[in-house]
Chain A
């Protein structure tokens, strides 16, 4: 089946530093990837849609200058949390859509998540 990986699985960083999270589709190409944020005991909130070769589309209320998304290849999207603060601590999950099934593909495959803790 389709596998999506994330790296790192957990990261601790100091306030004011930047952290990069990678999302890779391992056995399929993904023009479109999604980044979600999940607070403890809450649901997933879509942050942005990452499109290979073009700018990401951010959801309302998400600061694009703080959460930089780069989708440089068909198998890799990165999320960089810039100038991190303790309130950015969260569980970040990416997902990807398999290009083989066209734009109408309804399935998204999720990564295992990255636990970010900002001290």
Chain B
């Protein structure tokens, strides 16, 4: 079955420290992977995507993610966290289902950056 797993419900980091939000996936074929951020009562904002090319993808707001094919992972990272990064983060993979492509989302990880 095609799926996305975010093993951590919540990640806590201190401001200025590096952060990692984990994501693993299971999909047939080449994966198209995405990270989105959601602030309270808002829709999803696109952060970055991996389709092909360099395994390290740089995105918005200083975030980056590393695609690791052997580990089927796509962890989100940032070298120095900000309090304003506190939000809900979703990993997603594009999967072919029922003759069309759909986004499958992970369960989400709440990032809390303390001052």
Contacts and interface: CB of A to CB of B under 8 A. Distances in A.
Interface of A: 4, 6, 34, 41-44, 46, 49, 57, 91, 93, 95, 106-113, 115
Contact of A57 (B32, B90, B100, B105): B100
19 contacts: A4-B43, A6-B43, A34-B102, A34-B103, A41-B108, A42-B108, A43-B90, A43-B105, A43-B106, A44-B44, A46-B103, A49-B100, A57-B98, A93-B43, A106-B51, A110-B46, A111-B43, A112-B43, A113-B41
A73 B31 CA distance: 31
Interface residues of B, number: 21
A91 B105 CA distance: 16
B83 to A, nearest CB: 21
Contact of B105 (A44, A49, A106, A113): A44
Contacts of B90: 43-44
Contacts of A111: 43
A115 B42 CA distance: 9
B112 to A, nearest CB: 14
**What are the 5 tightest A-B residue pairs by CB atom distance, in nearest-first order?**
A110-B44, A110-B43, A112-B43, A113-B43, A43-B105
A43 B43 contact: no
Interface core residue of A93, A108, A109 (most chain B CB under 10 Å): A108
Contacts of B100: 49, 57
B24 to A, nearest CB: 15
A108 B105 CA distance: 13
A91 B41 CA distance: 8
Given A49-B100, A112-B42, A113-B41, A43 B108 contact: yes
Contacts of B43: 4, 6, 93, 110-113
Nearest to A32: B100
B97 to A, nearest CB: 9
Contacts of A49: 100, 102
B94 interface: yes
A68 B49 CA distance: 32
B84 to A, nearest CB: 18
Nearest to B107: A43
Contacts of A57: 98, 100
